[in-house]
Structure 1
């Protein structure tokens, strides 16, 4: 299933969605992302669900590929 970087007329990702996506792409768990951003694990899941609604990204692998096509930068202080 291809990942669309940004289909025509697709809504842009919010700043927070991009932050969550960058952390997930860096290999962090939902719990680690929540701690780093000062939000709940449930909120991390909500942001990921919104990202998946805006883009075709049903798996974590698709989210990582999406982070590359969306040019989401690696969060500072994250694992390399």
Structure 2
């Protein structure tokens, strides 16, 4: 993750209908209510080659270099192949 901060990658978005947005593989939460048109934010130069993409949950930075580096200080196995990760800004 810190390497992405160092790369100072752009954070961009595209507006599209919800069905197309779901087709991009963008992370979204089904419990949330989304309209027919959604913003998909992504990190990188293009949506197809993005290192991360998700439905708008706001707020957003313009570049990854605008955030601090993280330190993972604890990990827990919470079952069924899931991990809880604790991190802090350094």
Question: If the TM-score is normalised by the length of the shorter chain, which range does it land in?
Answer: under 0.3
The normalised TM-score by structure 1 is 0.23
User: Whose strand fraction is larger, Structure 1's or Structure 2's?
Assistant: 2
Q: Which has the higher contact order (CA 8 A, sep 6+)?
A: 1
Larger radius of gyration: 2
Q: TM-score, normalised by structure 2?
A: 0.22
Choose between structure 1 and 2: higher helix proportion.
Answer: 1
